[in-house]
Amino acid sequence: MLGLLEIVIDIFSIFFFWKPKFVQADYFCPQCRQRRAFTRRATNHWFHLSLTLMTFCLWGLVWLPILVRDSRRPFTCSFCGYKKL
């Protein structure tokens, strides 16, 4: 029973110490008129997977819209802030 509690605490610490990660890619920026590093926030799949398992797949209903939203999120030029869809 104590082992289970420790696992739950571990999973919650992932949630509380989680910081957004960024995906980086190089694109041509029309505003800078040169190639720049573009970033966008990445989906934390481990976090959502653990929540899905904890809620007996119920969280999957939340995960799916988040997945769709994150995949539509624009890449932003790290230099001028230009958003590329």
* Size of site (CB under 5 A) for Zn ion: 8
CA-based end-to-end distance of the chain: 48
**Smallest separation (angstroms) from Zn ion to the CB of 38:** 8
Across-strand partners of 77? 38
Nearer to Zn ion, 66 or 80 (CB): 80
Residue 28 in tokens: 């041509």
One residue of 29, 59, 63, 75 binding Zn ion per CB under 5 A: 29
Residues whose CB is less than 8 angstroms from the CB of residue 72 and which lie 6 or more positions away in sequence, other chains included: 85
Q: Which parts of this chain interact with Zn ion (CB under 5 A)?
A: 29, 31-32, 36, 77, 79-80, 82
